Structures are given as structure tokens and as C-alpha cells.
Amino acid sequence: MPPDVMSRYFRFHLAHAAERPLRDWGRVRGADELLCIEWLWRRTGEAHLLELWDVLAAQTADWGGWLQAPAQGVTKVWDHMTHVVNVAMGFKTPALRALRGDPAEQLRLTDEGWANILREHGQVHGVFSGDEWLAGTDAPRGVELCAVVEAMFTFEQVTRVFGTARHADIVERLAYNLLPATMDATVTAHQYHQQANQVQCTVAQRDWTQAGDDCTIFGLEPNFGCCTANLHQGWPKLVRSMWMADPDGGLAAVVWGPCTVEHAVGDARVTLEVTTDYPFDETISIRVSTSEPVDLPLRLRVPGWCDAPAVAVNGDPEGHIVSEDWLRLRRTWSDGDVLTVRLPMEVRAHPRPSGGLGLSLGPLQLAYAPGEIWERLPDSVGFGDWEVRPRRAWNAALIVDPEGIAEMTTVERLGVQSPPFGLKVGPPPFGLSGMALRVWVPGRRVPDWQMVGGSAPLPAGDVPSWDFDHPFPLVPYGNTRMRIAEFPTTRPSDLGQRGVTDPPA
């Protein structure tokens, strides 16, 4: 929309804001209009924009306060404040208020609110449930696709406002796990709800807070059209937010991934070409092209899961300062310089309230994929609507000690070797064919673990099993449509071990 049209609209809104205040959906999503006002004000400086800002900020729901004591358990009654997409959008409200208020207090509300929502509704993949109201911590609960893309955008803005690396960690968890997992590998079909433990995507009645019977199938418009219209913002806004301008005149690498950045330093034009197989690999190469030597400060995000980041310029270790999860470099860059960043990844265990366990590798949640059988529904149009069922048994339990998980797992890098990178990710990057890695974990089948209502709730406690022990291949969550991501645990079998290697497809 042209800025002059936006300005005229905001004058109109200001003239009528008192008699027609924000209500219902507008009240809980008011921060998104504040974001538009901020964008225009930075370009025009028009006084009426700040006046409208203050009026609308007062009319917008107090998400910062509500998130200090969010709803508990599975939501049973409709409320705008427990609708999962509203929550995903509402998390940006304290950050927007910080632009005209107390940044330290608004940052505290954001961080404590995130901790609270994960305690009450956090899933093994690191994001809160909502199917389509907040739904607790159990693995079969759903997460709506609209909430995924809105939460990505929200925490991109939170990172921009506060300059905090930890909020970009959330963006990566969403972008490299939940976003691809809720679409097919070629992005021609999507779900309305995804499950952390998803063993059947069929037309069936499930234990949702509010959703139709078709909300787990893949198709053009399962359940409702909002996700069909909304899913497209996820990847473009992620790319736009991968690098940001820094207040000291430099650049900040916010989200890691392959991209190209162009930037002006005085009269010089600088291009940074980022080449990497991240999030599947831990090495990132940044080639500098510049018309003349430039003094360009760089701030490189160190993910919260990375304990030993390393940087080198043209192969030589580079001095740097690590401050608040940012690796800071300042030097004069010349044409052809190559900055290499290494972010070592280790397998980590995540105990769950259910007594189960999740595993991650760097930014990637891991899951067992029992393969997929896709069946097109009759008379579905376009690319079609599809039910998906597992190709093999899915009921796997792990035999691991969370304290010694690194020693009990083996990371297998796949694909074509392409130095200096460990692998070459083939298209499509988030499918079962051409996967970039597998992580082998000891476990065994649990025949008594069966579906309930089309879902896979975890059995309680240390589950018995009468199978041999054998290694299970875990793969990136985003590569799966059938999966177990939250596992029960069991003891080693009295029958001993046997080697079984499940094919990934």
C-alpha cells in the first residue's frame, strides 16, 4: 500500500478511534496495526501517527500481563485470549509497547510469558499447542499452521526490537521444524493441524478443542481456508529477517541459512554471499565482495544450543567477542575475504511432563519416521486432498540415559560430500528422499502401544517390551509427515540386541 494512502487511513482511524475502539479480534491483534504505524512513522515522522499509536496501544489487549498467568490445560471454552493464532500474534505486543515505553520491563514480560506458555502448553518441538485453542502439553495435541507462520513473524519482530539472539532461536525452531512438517515436501498440500506424534492423517474425529474431521489431512483447504491464505508468508518473511541492520552501522546475522545480503558502507557496495547446508550441517561460509576495503562490524548469532562456536577469516582463527549470545567482529574487509563460522551440534535430550523424552540436534527436532503411504481422496480437485498412513510400525521406545545421550547416539551425515561443507542437501530439502542426516538411537518396539482415536498418546512410565533391542534411525522433524517425536523410554531387553536398519522412506 502506498505510504500516502496509509497516512490518510491512519488520519481517518484517529478521527474515529474513540467512538469505534478496537474490539474482539481487533483488540487482541492490535499490535499488528501498531507495527504498521511504526513502519510509516519511521519514514514520514508525521505527528498524528504517534497520537494514534498511543490511542490504539491503550485499546489493545494486555498480552504481557495475561501471559504471566496463562490458561492451564486443555481449553474448554472459547476466548480470544486462548485462540492459538491470537496468542502467536499477541506475543509481539510487549515488544511494540517497548518502542514507546520501558524496554526492560517489556522484555521481562516477553521472556517470562514465553516460559509460562511453554510450561502450560509447550510441545516437544519447543512451541505451544493449539488445536485451535490452547491445548496443553500432550504429544497428540495439534498446532495450527497459521499459528506457526504468525509466531515466526512475531519473534522476528521481537528479535528486531530487543536485539536478542534467544528469540531468533525460536524463529529457527519454527522455521526448520514445524513449518516444513505441516506441508508436503513439494509445498503443494498442507495440514490445518500437525501433531508431534502423528501416526495417521485421515478424515476422523480427534480430541481437538475446535477443529473439523479433515484437519490433519494434506490438501488445498483442509478444515478452513485461513492457513491456505496464510502459509505463504512463512518463508519470504524468514528470508527478509535473516540479516538485520545493527545500531553501530554494521550487520547482524539473525537466522542462519543460505542467502545473499547487499549493503552500502559509504560509497562502497558490499555483498555477503552465505553458503551453507545449515540447519542440517554446522559450517557456514560468508564470502565478501566489495568495491573497496570497508570497515563493517558484524554481529553473528550464537544459538542457545551451541557451546563452542568458532570463526575464521581466510582460514585463520579470528579474534572476537561473545556478548549476550552474539559473536562480534570488527575488521576491515577486502574483496574476496571468506568468513567461516562453525556451530558444533550435539544430540540433546528433552524430558517431557508425560515422562517421555524428545531428542534434538542443533536447531533440529528429531523424530522416528515409519515411512508414508499417500492415498488421494476421491473427487478432490487441483493437487488433491490426501490421507497419509504409516508404512511400518511406529511404536518405538528409546533405551537411553538423558545424561549420557551424546555417547549413546550416532550422527550419520548423508548426501553428496562437497567440501568445505559436510553434505549437499538435495531437493526437496524437507522430504524423506534425499535426507541430509540420520541419528541412530538404541530402542525397541512396544507392541502394546496402540493408537487411541487416531492418535498416539504416550503410555505411562517405563514401558515393558518383548522385542529385541536394535538401533532406530531418527531424522529431522521437518522431513516427516508420519512420526514419533516424543518417545516413551524402556530398559534394555533380556533378549539382547540385533541389528536392524529401517529404510528412511
Write down the residue that cell numbers 478443542 correspond to.
209
Residue in 74, 211, 450 with CA at minimum distance from that of residue 203: 211
What would the mean pLDDT of 484-496 be, rounded to a whole number? Answer: 81
For residue range 352-366, list pLDDT tens digits in order: 999 999 999 999 999
Query: pLDDT-derived band of residue 415, with 50, 70 and 90 as boundaries?
Result: low
What is the model's pLDDT at position 286? 98
Percent residues over pLDDT 70 in the chain:
94
Query: 3-state class of 178 per DSSP?
Result: helix
The answer to which of 50-64, 201-215, 323-337, 464-478 has the lowest mean pLDDT is: 464-478
What is the model's pLDDT at position 416? 47
Query: pLDDT-derived band of residue 164, with 50, 70 and 90 as boundaries?
Result: very high
Torsion angle in degrees (nearest 10) through CA of 245, 251, 252, 258: 110
What is d(CA 486, CA 354) in angstroms, rounded to the nearest whole number?
9
Query: pLDDT-derived band of residue 420, with 50, 70 and 90 as boundaries?
Result: very low
For residue range 92-107, list pLDDT tens digits in order: 999 999 999 899 999 9
What is the model's pLDDT at position 424? 60
- Domains of the chain, with CATH numbers? 3-240 (1.50.10.10), 245-342 (2.60.40.1180), 347-479 (no CATH)
| pTM assigned to the model | 0.94
Average pLDDT, the chain: 92
Of residues 400 and 73, the one with the higher pLDDT is: 73
What is d(CA 202, CA 214) in angstroms, rounded to the nearest whole number?
7
| Beta pairing class for 243-245 and 251-253 | antiparallel
For residue range 437-450, list pLDDT tens digits in order: 999 999 988 888 99
For residue range 300-316, list pLDDT tens digits in order: 999 999 999 999 999 98
